[in-house]
Structure 1
Amino acid sequence: MLNVLLIESDLDNTLLENSIKDIGYQCLKIKYGPAVLALIKDITPDALIFNLDTPSKKLLADLKALNDQSPLPVIMFVNDTTTDIINQVIKADISAFIVDGLQGNRINTIINVAIARFKHQQALKYALEEACVKLEDRKQIDRAKAILIKTQNFTEHEAYHTLRKLAMDRNITLGEMAKNVVAMSELFK
């Protein structure tokens, strides 16, 4: 069962809360205020849903920071917005941003699409981080090979196999071994 934290500016409005509960999700509803982010960290919900008139720039900046530390799907229903707010929403990685469109029969679809989009974004971020690490490792390996070629008169093939053997003997990755060789060569400069 999905744990949803519903944050609303008007606690008297029960449409969204009832719709979430009707779907079968567990819903905790709180009033929007300055302590919201601390509560989010304490409660650790599976998804956040905001129902606000207009999100503040501070809230969007805080959500961006929260998303960088512990990402979760964020759905935001608002009554009014500006182009500047929309740009900040995109930067904050809000999973779904619905302007003036709160209808009970659409809530389930909106939540499901937002969660799917969130998972897709997280997969893309992970793949990008992994590619960056591999690229950095590749650069370090090339630098380490160049050092071995220059200092030990190895061929490129010999340098690579030497790095690989050293990495295997030490039970570390080839990238880590390459970083060690580069660091050692800089030490002796």
Structure 2
Amino acid sequence: MKQRSSSRTPQALRDIRSMNVVAIHPQDQDGDELLAQLRRIGCKVQMVWPAQDSLPEATDIVFLAVRPETLCTTLPWLDARGAPPVIPVVAYENPIIIEAVMQLGAYCVVPSPVRSFGLLTAIAVTLNQHRNRQTMERYVRRVEEKLAEQRQIQRAKTILMETRSLSERDAYELLRSQAMTKREPIESIADAIIKAHEVLGFR
């Protein structure tokens, strides 16, 4: 059987070893083991307890102990744009814990008691999925922006068609020629026409 190429593995491991990790976890046996294993991997780790309203700058990934103390705590950074992915550390499986894990948007969990096995895999999977999600979100934003621009152009064409008795093709050509003359994007010309129409009340 032909083996699959592992050329990406060294770079992935280097990425993990250079990460800044925040572990929101009490300094108990699990916390000590988590800290030791993360340092053994090569991560730069900062232990935090209790959970804070903000994270240190340049945090790449967060380990979060899912306990009663964190379940009843609001974490504003979770909803911030560009928030780092979270790996929950869970000691129990019950509906409340499962719901909390789902709300965190976690891709995998680390069970308690913490062990060395599975920790590196959890980090690698979480980072890969998080990057895939970021790529998809950027694509969706670009599509939404493009659709918004097309709607603006269409609205500007409609205004020109109504105010200058132009065909749709001629209205678009007028927009395009103005964009070329002024050396501006056609979307900017469309936006200017729409604003002028709204301010001056052309009919």
TM-score by length of 2: 0.76
Q: CA deviation at 1:168?
A: 3.4
Deviates more, 1:48-57 or 1:176-185: 48-57
Please list, as runs of the form range in 1=range in 2, the aligned pairs for 1:2-17 lying within 5 A after superposition: 2-13=19-30, 14-17=32-35
Q: CA deviation at 1:99?
A: 5.0
Of Structure 1 and Structure 2, which has the larger fraction of its residues in helix? 1
Please list, as runs of the form range in 1=range in 2, the aligned pairs for 1:33-182 lying within 5 A after superposition: 33-34=50-51, 36-38=52-54, 40=55, 42-54=56-68, 55-59=70-74, 61-65=75-79, 68-80=80-92, 82-83=94-95, 86-87=98-99, 89-98=101-110, 100=112, 102-182=114-194
Aligned-partner residue type, residue 42 of structure 2: G
Q: 1:3 to 1:143 in 2, by over 3 A?
A: same
Q: 1:132 to 1:52 in 2, by over 3 A?
A: same
Structure 2: gaps spanning 5 or more residues:
1-17
Q: CA deviation at 1:81?
A: 5.5
Asked if 2 retains the 8 angstrom alpha-carbon contact of 1:163 and 1:174, the reply is yes
Q: 1:181 to 1:20 in 2, by over 3 A?
A: same
1:19 corresponding residue in structure 2: 37
Aligned-partner residue type, residue 58 of structure 1: T
Point out which structure has higher relative CO (alpha carbons under 8 A, 6+ apart). Answer: 1
Distance 1:82 1:139 in 2: 48
Q: 1:43 to 1:56 in 2, by over 3 A?
A: same
Asked if 2 retains the 8 angstrom alpha-carbon contact of 1:78 and 1:99, the reply is yes
Q: CA RMSD in A?
A: 2.5
Aligned-partner residue type, residue 174 of structure 2: T
Q: 1:49 to 1:149 in 2, by over 3 A?
A: same
Asked if 2 retains the 8 angstrom alpha-carbon contact of 1:76 and 1:94, the reply is yes
Distance 2:104 2:98 in 1: 10
Asked if 2 retains the 8 angstrom alpha-carbon contact of 1:74 and 1:94, the reply is yes
Distance 1:169 1:87 in 2: 57
Distance 1:75 1:47 in 2: 8
Aligned residue-pair number: 182
Q: Secondary structure at the match of 2:27?
A: coil
Distance 1:103 1:184 in 2: 65
Select the structure of larger CA radius of gyration.
Answer: 2
